[in-house]
Structure 1
């Protein structure tokens, strides 16, 4: 038995001999067969009995196969039933007409011995497989929603639709789908916002998300993938190709990849939690820097978010900001907490913390993407920073952002060797450091972040920087 459950197949032809021949070919499927001698008789049966596959001739009395296909495709209850046309009318015109009205396959009668069994077996397998999956189609165009819904139901999928991201979220909470197929450009909530919202919610983040868009620009689509999309398809698209793409996305292999991704994310979160504990222990040694890493992470991730980056990049920026000073675990308290000037030896010792931080995280695969933030956040635009003395654009962008956030919070916090400055003065010092110590573009981005997030800007009561203060922040 090739099919687990007993499928029901309707065979339609005005010749009883041909009907018997077709049924004989399909007997190994162990299916249940019904027969009809014309389209009208078949239509009466189809509207009262559920069939898994319909096999029909074209040239028949009363109602031909073309009209039967048309009726089936225009009826919500029958449009999902796959139809195989088996006909001696195999001209290009007839074949095209058959597909236009919704035939799934078109087989010439001369080819039934070689093709019919394989075609029907595949349709039954697909229908059984796909009927277990609910697809959500999100598009503001009723026409697109209808076309895609018809195509997916014809492939055996269950389908639910929504007209924009917000509507989709409402439907989603009541009926979680197995896969989401969404347009990008929609009112109320567009596809980007919808995708980000979905993947920020642990309850729905594992749902595969395929993007439909008329924009074929590779950069635009890659950005969508960064927002959490599994893949994309450009409009206008071929329905058969879309069905195949959906089936591949829902395959066991892809689900295994999702599980592996979840495992790696869990591992990453555990590692981050462990290292964050070390950071907290580090900051507990120095009451002046308590909460510093959390603030830097929040600022850098906020800056990255303003660039239009995806959820994953924003999360990585937050992690990198939180762990940027992890190397200070290896700095002696006598140096880290010293209130007076540092000796040359002590200065060299504390300037090793970026290298030490890199050594701590370099062998953790899930943290490799934040190494530049840890290793290069004390480099300067003029090349006078450390540990490598990089200059300008040689410094990784995230490290330049981290330098700005690090500088701001250091200025706004009391340290053993100076008192804090207020927000306005800190902003002026940062602005004056554009092009020498700090990246001008990153400073501008930071200012933009402050304007958008005034409640997150750290304002202290100290009126100015302590005498003799300079931008030698460790």
Structure 2
């Protein structure tokens, strides 16, 4: 995780040191300036996430520093926290008038600094990842709204009408839309309707900005799918509060959805474990095979640069790759001797059976290709579909290598598992015919890394 860069501006070395100590739990990258002018110069040269400034300083005080920062496009988005021994209502009001995010009395800095600054940095981080699309045919309105949102730390995209906005959305999906109603080419009603009729866009909060405060007008817009309506002229601070509220609600909904999905994932994994256990309980010789394949293929995926989510998914694929064997009779699956052609044809249906089982589970659809294709061969002589080379999905090619190696080194009713060296030679010899050469190379890297 990248450290937040914070500038402390205070003419007192003791106060700068004290502030550093108070903020140590946040593990910040802290810079220091001795007055407002030095702080301003450093802010122009560095990309700070937050500035903490004293109010009373020589050369340039904290109020003037904040005013200058908020007046420059390159620095107006940096949150400023003012710290002062003067804490009357008028002093605090001066700070907020020039754009300060918070005002802390020096008497309470030890108890308030950590919590206040932590909250502001968390909010600023969230804002910096969120894009607001402002749609209005008035250049003045666009500029005012853009500046207000940028000052609050949001990314901003602008458009002059609904048609232009839809083109922008093709490239940049906003987290919230602010739109006028009366615009050329495509007005706010049409634009809102287009957004809400698109399943990929319908969840984006839509806020209407209009000089028309007619109740029927507002009701009609809300019926088109708008979440809120703000009447011009408005204060940009009010607008920012509304935007933050809507995005906060949206964020909470996303968190709840994530919790629901995590719960479903846990239940799904429990079901998977039960399925695999049921399968392997039938055959003591293959017990642990699926877990071993999952471990190997997960390690291979990591060496190939997969992210943790991708690794987790291919591990699940490894755990389930033989799930279709549930449909194979015990007399065939557990036969101690060589299989007849008819018996082998029954074994060969297990990838298709497994795929059929998983196709009906929405959260496992990306695993289907692993289960269905892990017995395909590079030369096209595999089963069930005779795919070859790059027609075979990469995750299935990886699983095939792990499956082959583990099968060779495991005991079976009709033979003992072979020594690792011999199994590795067979895997290497199968490159290009049975197994994917690139995947075999990654497999050998995994073997090598696990010997250390």
TM-score of the superposed pair, with normalisation by structure 1: 0.50
Contact 1:155 1:243 in 2 (8 A): no
Displacement after TM superposition at 1:132 (Å):
1.7
1:113 is paired with a residue whose SS is: helix
1:111–1:145 distance in 2 versus 1, CA, 3 Å: farther
Identify which of 85, 88, 91 aligns with 1:88. Answer: 85
Contact 1:10 1:35 in 2 (8 A): yes
Distance in 2 between residues matched to 1:178 and 1:152, nearest whole Å? 13
Displacement after TM superposition at 1:177 (Å):
1.4
Distance in 1 between residues matched to 2:103 and 2:198, nearest whole Å? 44
1:431-442 aligned within 5 A: none
Q: Deviations over 1:399-435 (max 9, x none)?
A: xxxxxxxxxxxxxxxxxxxxxxxxxxxxxxxxxxxxx
Displacement after TM superposition at 1:136 (Å):
0.6
Task: Note the residue ranges of structure 2 that are not aligned, 5 or more in a row.
Answer: 261-452
Partner in structure 1 of residue 248 of structure 2: 248
Contact 1:58 1:64 in 2 (8 A): yes
Partner in structure 2 of residue 122 of structure 1: 119
Q: Does 1:228 align with 2:225?
A: yes
Which 4+ stretches in 1 moved above 6 angstroms?
Answer: 255-258
Distance in 1 between residues matched to 2:71 and 2:79, nearest whole Å? 13
State which drifts further: 16-25 or 229-238: 229-238
Partner in structure 2 of residue 193 of structure 1: 190
Q: Deviations over 1:129-166 (max 9, x none)?
A: 22221111122333433333233223322111223323
Cα RMSD after superposing both structures: 2.7
Displacement after TM superposition at 1:102 (Å):
1.5
Distance in 1 between residues matched to 2:257 and 2:189, nearest whole Å? 23
Displacement after TM superposition at 1:219 (Å):
4.0
Displacement after TM superposition at 1:16 (Å):
0.8
Contact 1:126 1:155 in 2 (8 A): no
Displacement after TM superposition at 1:217 (Å):
4.7
Distance in 2 between residues matched to 1:9 and 1:37, nearest whole Å? 14
Contact 2:205 2:246 in 1 (8 A): no
Number of aligned pairs? 257
Task: Note the residue ranges of structure 1 that are not aligned, 5 or more in a row.
Answer: 261-474
Partner in structure 1 of residue 136 of structure 2: 139
1:34-53 aligned within 5 A: 34-53=31-50
Contact 1:233 1:242 in 2 (8 A): no
1:128–1:28 distance in 2 versus 1, CA, 3 Å: same
2:166 is paired with a residue whose SS is: helix
Q: Does 1:163 align with 2:149?
A: no
1:456-467 aligned within 5 A: none
1:72-471 aligned within 5 A: 72-235=69-232, 236-237=234-235, 238-253=238-253
2:65 is paired with a residue whose SS is: helix
Distance in 2 between residues matched to 1:198 and 1:243, nearest whole Å? 18
Distance in 2 between residues matched to 1:221 and 1:122, nearest whole Å? 35
Partner in structure 2 of residue 71 of structure 1: 68
1:67–1:83 distance in 2 versus 1, CA, 3 Å: same
Distance in 1 between residues matched to 2:85 and 2:172, nearest whole Å? 45
Displacement after TM superposition at 1:227 (Å):
0.6
Distance in 2 between residues matched to 1:77 and 1:184, nearest whole Å? 31
1:84 is paired with a residue whose SS is: strand
1:178–1:164 distance in 2 versus 1, CA, 3 Å: same
Contact 1:8 1:31 in 2 (8 A): yes
Q: Deviations over 1:104-138 (max 9, x none)?
A: 11222222223222111111111122222111112
TM-score of the superposed pair, with normalisation by structure 2: 0.52
Q: Deviations over 1:204-236 (max 9, x none)?
A: 334321222344455433322221223333442
1:57-68 aligned within 5 A: 57-68=54-65
Partner in structure 2 of residue 6 of structure 1: 3
Partner in structure 2 of residue 20 of structure 1: 17
Contact 1:185 1:191 in 2 (8 A): yes
Q: Deviations over 1:177-224 (max 9, x none)?
A: 122111223344321121112223445334321222344455433322
